Structure 1
Amino acid sequence: MAAAPEPRELELTCERMSYGPDAVARDADGKTVFVSGAVAGDRVRAVVDRAGERWDHARATELLDASPDRVAPGCPYAALCGGCPWAALSYPAQARAKRAGVVDALARIGGMGAERAEALVAPLESPSAPWGYRNKVELAVAREGGRVALGMHAAGGDGVVRVKSCALLDKRFAKAVRAVSGALGYLAGSHGLTLERVGVRASSRTREVEVALWDHPGPFPRAQAAKVLTDALSPTSVVRVMQKGPAKARRIAGVECLSGAGSWGERVGEERMRVSAPSFFQVNTAGAEKLVELVLDALRPEPHEEAMDLYCGAGTFTLPLARRAGLVSAVESYGPAVRDLRRNLTAAGLDNVDAVGGDAGREFPDTDADVIVVDPPRAGLSPDVVRRLSEQPARAIAYVSCDPATLARDLARFDEAGTFSPSRVTPMDLFPQTFHVETVTLLERT
């Protein structure tokens, strides 16, 4: 058998951060190399672990010269856990990199060119502290030698890292990770748990804590799970979320309340909301408030106007819109979120919302809206939804996006349709210590 080729070792100077966990460098031939374990400005020795036609990926093995933007991470697990890949980059450098990533996506993918993109993108908004901002963590589950271990996904996605706490979680609940991991690890020793993951939501505003146990339908030690978690953490809610189907197409088969309220409560600005475990809710509550502020400031809905809220979830934008506009048409495709939306509207005493369950394209409201909010998932808007929005007589659209690439693609489609054009793109850092960035784009009639 022929011997395996020697790993290719490089000395690289990292130029910038990618839209991802890695820094970006170029080798001696000018080929792009994505470098894990490095930050922009570092000079490193690295070993290529994946070679491609257009780019390579390498793993930093030695830091030769540290970047002036390199810092000691604020979490002892940062090098092992995949939850905060930019933790070794100073926060001002993170902020610069995130705004630059939005500008780059608009210029390249959106076809706007560097000058127009730079003029459109506002300074980055940072609504929360760089650490301790999350209201939710998810624990991965692994089986090691017949025992169940809970922790964070390891950097690179291979295995689970056991941690005592998560520095991204609100510090008031720092002990929650260890308490939940210990309680369920103990329970698994005497019961055959088939957990896939465990979610912990915690609010410093309402003091509510929910533990969600994600598994499959079948026998489950309901009473024992509720007891060990109550003894360890005193949560206000413990639920079991049962899923069916293949890994990439899971569907919710049911949600059981094991103890407490059966849902989680949070306060966003003036609004009180309840959210069930399967429903999406922004992990950064201060960031969610800032998103609402930016959207309302951009649209300025009036009492005589009609609003539309597509991909509305449990009502983060719907509720404040309904307090300002005369009527709101709200569309959401995910069943648990639709139920949460209707419950939140009832609790708020709002009866001027037409809440529709279904896909935004198939259930596009048959109405003429004056102002529109769209907050789609990472995949962005379908071409049909862009077309339908472009046919609306609305005076403005606020597009909330969590992915600069799909935002840029969709803005190019709006430009092509010729009805609405972006007048301002505001990047927001809802996820410090990571590469993710949220944006609020105001589209106005051309």
Structure 2
Amino acid sequence: MTRRRQRLPQEPIELDITDLSHDGRGIARHHDKVVFVQNALPGEKVTAKLNRRTRHFDEATAETIENHSPDRVDPLCEFYDRCNGCTMMHVSDDKQIEFKFNTLKSNLEKMAEVQPNTWLPHLSDRHWYYRRRARLSVKWVPGKDKVLVGFREKNGRFVADMDNCLVLEKPLANLIKPLQELVLKMSIKTHIPQVECALSEQQPALIMRHMRALSDDDVGLLKQFAKDHNIQLFLQSKGPDTVIPLQSDYQALSFMLPQENLRYEFLPNDFIQVNQAMNEKMIARVLSTMELNSDAKVLDLFCGLGNFTLPLARHSHQVTGVEGDQQLVERARHNATLNGLNNVEFFTADLTKDHSQSSWLQQDYSHVLIDPPRSGAWDILPLIAQSSADTLVYVSCHPASLARDSKRLVHEFGFNMQAAGVMDMFPHTSHVESMAVFKRH
């Protein structure tokens, strides 16, 4: 017998918000049960409507607020109440970065039992029109004969009805409405689930995912759209390896790192840091904290297409980059050649495996940089500890995995956390980008 789904009460409940959760929602208690409340801040008394119940906690959305927190601001985006692209636009800029710092600090204290000798100053830049990459969902709504293009709604089930975006770089934001009009004209509008967008220094690039074959008329519409809006358009029929350029005069996408006079070329579905201005500041901080010299030999793990590897090579004797994605390694090699760097080499390796016998680990290193995915760098930490490097810089996109790995580095492998800090890579979201600097005792 199947269990009937429990109906949620329609009557709103009154809640006192006492804290913020790791994802930026207010925390309250109701009948001795934790409630996570969207659009609520500590110190506020709110009337909220429940939208989900679980055994251990409930979820709700604040509908009215009696006493506004001094940290609350009016969101500038007209779509903020439904779009989940941003979750903290109702929080002042200063409070957002303070929240991210407190998240990192709490994770290090509670999970790692570690405190850095020095807290690095918060790193931030502009809060609007900063995203140069995004994956937008696409949905045709038959009842309205309208196509939606944008981020998901806060409940995750539907595509937000929006025609602009205040966090996408303007050349990308300006394409949302024209894309809606384009897809509406296509014969396969019901079979286009998403569009990925990336901003090259020359022009925007889009990848249109299509689940059915394009008609000749569809191809004609796409080519005219690309011409009218001066974009490069790519098609993707299945997995990532099926991405192909629509135009025969395809040019490489690229971006500059001005302070190091470096140019990077990339494909539209390659991983690059979303926030270009923050990426430049982050690289500058890595270089300053690593204290490199002409004798330095650096190991760059999870190196991608060479984001850190190439500037490190500008300031070191030798740099070795290691990455699990063969295509990114090929791009990294190409970028090193493009910039005339002959003191850098790249290897393809799955860094969750044992590489104690790998040739790249047999070299002597003075410095190690790691920039792992959300899952962290747990598996490679013992080999880093066995290396000759006395300086390790860890760039993290997830404070919990950084805290877990830091505990091992400090308490098991004898490193000291010299410094740590947060970087506001994704303003108006709860995403925490951070950096920690370790030295041998």
Question: Same fold per TM (> 0.5)?
Answer: yes
Q: 1:23 to 1:273 in 2, by over 3 A?
A: same
Mapped partners of 1:9, 1:209: distance in 2: 45
Q: Which residue of 1 aligns with 2:132?
A: 135
Mapped partners of 1:25, 1:207: distance in 2: 48
Mapped partners of 2:408, 2:205: distance in 1: 41
Instruction: Measure how far apart 1:144 and its partner are.
Output: 2.4
Q: Which residue of 2 aligns with 1:185?
A: 184
**How many residues end up aligned between the 2 structures?**
427
Question: In the alignment, is the contact (CA less than 8 A) between 1:263 and 1:277 conserved in 2?
Answer: no
Question: In the alignment, is the contact (CA less than 8 A) between 1:103 and 1:121 conserved in 2?
Answer: no
Question: In the alignment, is the contact (CA less than 8 A) between 1:239 and 1:262 conserved in 2?
Answer: no
Instruction: Measure how far apart 1:439 and its partner are.
Output: 0.7
Instruction: Measure how far apart 1:21 and its partner are.
Output: 4.0
> Any residues of structure 2 matched to 1:376-391 within 5 Å, and which?
376-382=372-378, 384-391=379-386
Question: In the alignment, is the contact (CA less than 8 A) between 2:8 and 2:50 conserved in 1?
Answer: no
Instruction: Measure how far apart 1:4 and its partner are.
Output: 4.9
What secondary structure is seen at the aligned counterpart in 2 of 1:65? coil
Q: Which residue of 1 aligns with 2:150?
A: 151
Matched, 1:196 2:193: yes
Mapped partners of 2:417, 2:233: distance in 1: 44
What secondary structure is seen at the aligned counterpart in 2 of 1:329? strand
> Any residues of structure 2 matched to 1:12-411 within 5 Å, and which?
12-27=15-30, 29=32, 31-112=33-114, 116=115, 120-126=118-124, 128-145=125-142, 148-171=147-170, 173-186=172-185, 188=186, 190-191=187-188, 194-203=191-200, 206-215=201-210, 223-224=219-220, 226-235=222-231, 237-244=232-239, 252-259=240-247, 260-261=249-250, 263-269=252-258, 270-362=261-353, 365-366=360-361, 367-382=363-378, 384-411=379-406
Greater CA drift, 428-437 or 173-182 = 173-182
Mapped partners of 2:182, 2:8: distance in 1: 47
Greater CA drift, 193-202 or 308-317 = 193-202
> Any residues of structure 2 matched to 1:409-424 within 5 Å, and which?
409-424=404-419
Question: In the alignment, is the contact (CA less than 8 A) between 1:102 and 1:121 conserved in 2?
Answer: no
What secondary structure is seen at the aligned counterpart in 1 of 2:364? coil
Gaps in structure 2 of 5+ consecutive residues: none
Q: Deviations over 1:351-402 (max 9, x none)?
A: 22221122124456222211111000011113x3011111111020110000
Greater CA drift, 332-341 or 153-162 = 332-341
Tell me how large the CA RMSD over aligned residues is: 2.5
Mapped partners of 2:244, 2:6: distance in 1: 55
Mapped partners of 1:218, 1:327: distance in 2: 48
Mapped partners of 1:93, 1:64: distance in 2: 20
Identical amino acids, percent of aligned pairs: 27
Mapped partners of 2:8, 2:294: distance in 1: 70
Paired letter, 2:268: A
Out of 11, 14, 25, the position equivalent to 1:11 is 14
**TM-score, length-scaled by structure 1:** 0.88
What secondary structure is seen at the aligned counterpart in 2 of 1:166? coil
Instruction: Measure how far apart 1:58 and its partner are.
Output: 2.1
Mapped partners of 1:79, 1:262: distance in 2: 39
Paired letter, 1:357: T
Q: Which residue of 2 aligns with 1:247?
A: none
Q: Which residue of 2 aligns with 1:248?
A: none
Mapped partners of 2:5, 2:414: distance in 1: 63
What secondary structure is seen at the aligned counterpart in 1 of 2:112? coil
What secondary structure is seen at the aligned counterpart in 2 of 1:153? coil
Question: In the alignment, is the contact (CA less than 8 A) between 2:393 and 2:437 conserved in 1?
Answer: yes
Paired letter, 1:24: I
Question: In the alignment, is the contact (CA less than 8 A) between 1:391 and 1:419 conserved in 2?
Answer: no
